[in-house]
Amino acid sequence: MLEYTAGGPGETLALLLHHDDAEREFAYDRQSSLARLDKAWDEAVARGWVVVSMKQDWKTVYPAPEAGAAQ
């Protein structure tokens, strides 16, 4: 999917989201039992795609629910 996006005409944004914040969301990486990121990570680095870290780049992963909001 990222290859298709990056290969499109004009300016494109190919972004790989690195789920590396186990405290706020499921984390997975090269050796994770949930999902592996090894092939996608290597491809992103080789092609110069943007890799975003949930742990380092996101202030809020899931905001606190608003008072009185339906759960």
pLDDT of residue 34: 66
Q: In this predicted structure, what is the pLDDT of residue 58?
A: 84
Nearest-angstrom CA–CA distance, 62 and 65: 9
* Mean pLDDT confidence for 4-20: 88
3-state percent breakdown (helix, strand, coil) of the chain, nearest 5 = 25, 10, 60
Segment 16-65, tens digit of pLDDT: 888 888 887 777 776 666 666 778 888 899 999 999 998 888 887 677 78
pLDDT at residue 70, as a whole number: 64
How far apart, in Å, are the Cα atoms of 23 and each of 16, 26, 34, 60, 63?
20, 8, 15, 12, 14
Whether 51 and 57 have beta carbons less than 8 Å apart is answered as no
